[in-house]
Structure 1
C-alpha cells in the first residue's frame, strides 16, 4: 500500500524505517528504549515528523 504523506504528518513505523535506512525492528528497539518519541493513534504507533527528521539529521 502506498500513501502520500502530508508534510509534517506522523510516520508509520515501516515508512520511517525505510526512510531512515534502518530495519523496522531496530526502530522498535529505539522506541522501546525511549530513544525515539511516538504517538498512539488507536492501536497504531506513529513517529512524529520532527522525530524522524531528527533521526535523519543526528543518526540512529
Structure 2
C-alpha cells in the first residue's frame, strides 16, 4: 500500500513539520541560538556538543 502512496505531494508539508519540531526542541532544551559560530574555536564547539549529550552525567 505504501508503494503507491503519493508522498511527493506531502514533501513540503513534511519539511515544515520537521522545521517546526526542530525549533520547538531547540527552544525547549534551553540551548541559546548561535547566530555567529565563527567566534567559537573547534575545541569549544567540541566541548559544547559533547556536554549537551543525554548520556553525559553532569
- Does TM-score exceed 0.5, indicating one fold? no
Query: Looking at CA atoms only, which structure, 1 or 2, has the larger radius of gyration?
Result: 2
Normalising by structure 2, report the TM-score: 0.25
Q: Which has the higher strand share?
A: 1
Higher normalized contact order (CA 8 Å, seq sep 6+, divided by chain length): 1
Normalising by structure 1, report the TM-score: 0.25
